[in-house]
Amino acid sequence: MISLKQRFTINFSILLSVILAVVLTMIYSIFSQYRRTEFKLRLEEKALSTSALLADLNVSKQDALEILDQNSVDKLYNNRIVVFDNDLNLIYSSVSGATQIPSEEDLQILKTKGSFFFSDNKIGRYGMARKLQANKVLYVLVTAEDKSGQRLLWFLGYLLLGAFIVGTGSVIILARSLSGRILLPLKQIQERITNISEKRLHIRLEEKRNNDEMDKLARAFNDMMDRIDSSYKQQKEFTDNASHELRTPVTRIIMQIQNLISLEPHSDKTKQYLNSMMMDSNQIADTISSLLILSRIDSGKISEFFPPCRLDEIIFDATQFISKAYPDVRILFNIENHSENDIDIEVKGDSNLLKIVFINLFKNAYLYSSDKLINVSLIQEKEDLKVVITNNGEVISPDDRENLFKAFARGKNSKNIQGTGLGLRITERILNHHNAQIKYEALNDNLNSFTVLFKF
Amino acid sequence: MKILLLEDDFKLSSEIKVFLQEKHFDCDAVYDGNLFLRQFANAAYDLFILDINVPGVNGLEVCSLIRQSDKATPIIMLTAFGQIEDKVEAFNNGADDYLVKPFHFDELYIRINSLMRRNQNPQQSDEIITIEDLQINISDLKVTRGGTEIYLTPKEYQLLLLLAKSKGKPVSKQSISDIVWDLNFETGTNTIEVYINFLRKKIDKNFDVKLIHTRPGFGYYLKSEE
């Protein structure tokens, strides 16, 4: 997986270095062309000056020529000059040069064309036919090595190669930093978006108002978040409003049944029906209340800043509630300190909400127990505070464990037990809201355990 | 015994009224806050029951308006479930008790009776237990030592009170467990030690004279040092 930044860096670097390479190669080849031309001009000059001298002297005064040759300021390296007359008789040849004598072929070309210039990488050969009088022609041939031109060309070559390496290197660095800078807003956007969750829909991207592509993206994203946020709120408010609206008639029904039971004489059968209706209505009321709590937590109507409260007192409040509802319950309570610190069982939380958590867990432990005994341990460990609630009874099947904390999920073991299927859902939501966790374990075939974990 | 009920839902109101009349209370019902205040000014009542969400002046405002002129008459607030903030606000506005709708009529009956009883003999003699510089005020549940107030949780308070009342005789762990906690509630002996430690930290830690003592094999007692 290649990132956008890497791709940008690679593409940009390749493009720029190719352009650089082309430019540098052009410079090299133009200079090489220039060297050739320059070399030819020097050879030509040499030929001209030699032939002029020969023409003036009109005889071969080799010594003079050689002196002249050797003292020439514009010295051609390793040069050799040969001069022929009309009939291709050698009339002059410098001796110092080691380069080969021009061939017959060269002379033929000279005769027909008047002049030639050949040059390979090292050696250049120049020939010209110089007309002195009407019937007198001198054929001058100069061969030499272009040592200084060659050196310049080498030097330029290395210079350009160095320039290419340095250039490409800086292009890569430039491309990296440039792409980093261009993509920085994208990285910031990504970091912000990662923070968006169900509970934190208020997060918006920063709008720079400079109308560039990033800004447009940010604005489009923010618009989208506004729409999601508002539809989410509507949904939450709907649950909230619906629950409120449902509660009043349920309250009415319950109160009317209560009065009906206690104020009028009834047959046993009617009383039975009324009691059953009462129980069902109470369950509806429970469900509605639970939905309300959920929607309140979800819609952030419950504060996230909690005062410190004593976990033991919350547990005691909850056990008191359970003892009232189920007089035959027995609760075994223990505090253990497994840390090296002084015992400190304070947590930051909403005591009313946490009470609901423990009421739900104790209620479940009681209803699903075989012996009506609940074991509650408050354990302080090095980095967390744990409440472990265990009860004897049929354990939750592995299939059901996955759905344990989902709304309206009820396990196979709940056939004859009344419940809304919302208790554990609410429990989990409240605990999440407190940054606490809950987990279930079957300690053996007949021992259920729920652990609530508060981090210090 | 006259009760004034503020409840805007007609059916609920009439059901509550029927129940209260059955229990031989004299009950007047009004449907909005303004009417309630007019009625409050015109007649004398022994107890008020207020719903919070009513037209006109709402229940919480009605409650604080009552308390401006009448500090004694008990007030029970009816709150909707999930409105936890309402409960706190109800007490802040001077309510004596609250019930969450839908409530059981028997519960309402018990609350009315207990408030009435409290109201009939309001001036309990201020009973204060004093041990050295430790003072336990039983009527307002305040504990002070050397003049500074010590904040205890309900269980810590009950434990301290139990030790204080036994007047220097040791109280066994078993008795502490039975008396301070519910009957359905069993605590390990370790737990009692933890609570004695909590108490020691709050009562004795910052003072030279230690009041809470252990007699191994017998239990704990509260006494100035012999």
pLDDT tens, position by position, B3-18: 999 998 888 899 999 9
Q: Which whole number is the average pLDDT over A12-28?
A: 93
Q: Tell me what pLDDT residue A98 has.
A: 47
Specify the DSSP class assigned to residue A103: P
Q: Tell me what pLDDT residue A406 has.
A: 79
Q: Who among A296, A320, A333 is closest to B82 (CB)?
A: A296
CB atoms within 10 A of CB B51: 23
Strand B134-137 to strand B142-145: parallel, antiparallel, or no bridges (unpaired)? antiparallel
B56 close to B79: Cβ distance less than 8 angstroms: no
- Of A131 and A257, which is predicted with more confidence? A257
pTM: 0.59
ipTM (interface pTM): 0.72
Specify the DSSP class assigned to residue A89: -
Is B181's Cβ below 8 Å from some Cβ in A? yes
Q: Kindly report, residue by residue over A41-59, the tens digit of the pLDDT.
A: 988 888 888 887 777 665 5
B30 close to B14: Cβ distance less than 8 angstroms: no
Task: Return the residue matching tokens 């949780």.
Answer: B153
Q: Kindly report, residue by residue over B73-128, the tens digit of the pLDDT.
A: 899 988 775 555 666 777 788 888 888 888 888 889 988 988 888 777 655 556 78
Q: Tell me what pLDDT residue A63 has.
A: 58
CA-closest candidate to residue B50, choices B109, B7, B105:
B7
Query: Which range, A84-88, B139-143, B215-219, has the best average confidence (pLDDT)?
Result: B215-219
pLDDT above 90 as % of chain B: 23
Residue A71 has pLDDT above 80, yes or no: no
Residue B159 has pLDDT above 50, yes or no: yes
Confidence band, pLDDT 50/70/90 cuts, at residue A196:
confident
What is the rounded average pLDDT for all residues in chain B?
A: 85
- CATH number for domain B2-120, candidates 3.40.50.2300, 3.40.50.20, 3.10.20.90, 3.30.1280.10: 3.40.50.2300
Between positions 118 and 147 of B, the ones with CB within 8 A of A are none
Q: Tell me what pLDDT residue A404 has.
A: 82
Residue A61 has pLDDT above 60, yes or no: no
- Of A417 and A262, which is predicted with more confidence? A262
**Domain map of chain B by residue range?**
2-120, 128-225
What is the rounded average pLDDT for all residues in chain A?
A: 83
Q: Tell me what pLDDT residue A31 has.
A: 93
DSSP tally for chain A: helices H, then strands E: 10, 12
Q: Which residues of A touch B (CB under 8 A)?
A: 243-244, 247-248, 250-252, 254-256, 258-259, 262-263, 281-282, 285, 288-289, 292-293, 296, 302, 310, 312-313, 316, 319-320, 323, 327, 329-337, 342-343, 350, 352-353
Task: Write out the two tokens for A392.
Answer: 């004897």
Q: Tell me what pLDDT residue A72 has.
A: 56
The fold adopted by the segment(s) B128-225 is Arc Repressor Mutant, subunit A (1.10.10)
Q: Mark yes or no for CB contact B191/A333 under 8 Å.
A: yes
pLDDT above 70 as % of chain A: 91
Confidence band, pLDDT 50/70/90 cuts, at residue A169:
very high
Residue A162 has pLDDT above 90, yes or no: yes
Alpha helices of A326-450 — where are they, by DSSP H? 351-367, 398-402, 423-433
Strand B185-187 to strand A437-444: parallel, antiparallel, or no bridges (unpaired)? unpaired
